[in-house]
């Protein structure tokens, strides 16, 4: 496990994009796992810049997103498909048919989740998975208590997550109560994992993930079991680590 501590989120984005760009080199096809939320936006902005400068080519990249809300279409401005289009896909030379986000409107969610797993496997698995982390240590929508062996599935959102998301919707009744999420086991199948975090509110979760025991109490602690994980975190997010940087 590598830990890279940076002064701010812009530096986090620059280093993160460089790690991804270096890993993409020399690949006929590259399979990239992606995350949503505000944390990876600086990484995506830097990848867009590199693409416009023709230093990174997305024409042979296949992407798989971690999660999506159930019950809202991809055209909804709070869907993760909409987010990815706005924050990355619409600005780089990636064929849209190569971008995969779980379908929250699928008629048969369990079958769709199984198909999502099968599609990832059929292309040879994910080369690099981008992750963020929640204040309680969640990755994707794998909240505390999620099995380390979990696969892509429909999950119930916690009351805390529902309350946090309410500010993005017109009324509380519109907030999705469930989501599709890659499981922790699915995430651990990726060849490389890069987790990004910024802000003092992530410091406790980062310390638990890196230095704590592997436990369902902190889903991100399962990353200790993976052979190639890099944490790129800001100084304030690293504040609770015993080993100082």
Alpha-carbon distance 122 to 186, whole Å?
14
Alpha-carbon distance 43 to 118, whole Å?
28
DSSP codes of every residue in 169-200: SSSGGGS-SEEEE--HHHHHTSSEEEEEE-SG
Which residues partner with 5 through β-bridges? 233
Place of tokens 């990355």: 88
* Helix (H/G/I), strand (E/B), else coil: 116: helix
Token reading at 208: 């638990």
Place of tokens 């379908």: 103
Estimate to the nearest angstrom the gap between the alpha carbon of 6 and the chain centroid: 19
List the catalytic residues.
67, 136, 138, 143
CA-based nearest residue to 157, from 68, 66, 40, 38: 68
Alpha-carbon distance 204 to 51, whole Å?
35
């Amino acid at each position: 496990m590598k830990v890279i501590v940076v002064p701010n989120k812009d530096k986090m984005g620059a280093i993160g994009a460089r790690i991804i760009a270096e890993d993409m080199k020399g690949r006929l096809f590259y399979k990239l796992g992606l995350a949503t939320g505000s944390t990876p936006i600086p990484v995506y902005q830097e990848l867009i810049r590199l693409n416009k400068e023709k230093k990174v080519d997305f024409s042979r990249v296949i992407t798989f997103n971690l999660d999506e809300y159930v019950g809202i279409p991809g055209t909804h401005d709070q869907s993760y498909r909409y987010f990815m289009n706005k924050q990355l896909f619409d600005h780089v030379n990636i064929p849209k048919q190569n971008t995969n986000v779980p379908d929250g409107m699928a008629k048969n969610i369990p079958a769709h989740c199984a198909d999502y797993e099968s599609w990832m496997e059929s292309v040879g698995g994910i080369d690099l998975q981008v992750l963020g982390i929640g204040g309680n240590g969640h990755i994707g929508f794998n909240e505390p208590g999620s099995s380390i062996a979990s696969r892509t599935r429909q999950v119930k959102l916690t009351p805390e997550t529902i309350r946090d998301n309410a500010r993005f919707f017109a009324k509380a009744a519109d907030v999705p109560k469930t989501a599709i999420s890659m499981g922790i086991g699915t995430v651990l199948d990726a060849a490389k994992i890069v987790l990004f975090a910024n802000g003092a509110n992530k410091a406790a979760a980062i310390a638990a993930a890196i230095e704590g025991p592997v436990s369902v109490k902190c889903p991100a602690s399962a990353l200790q079991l993976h052979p190639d994980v890099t944490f790129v975190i800001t100084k304030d997010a690293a504040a609770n680590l015993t080993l100082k940087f």
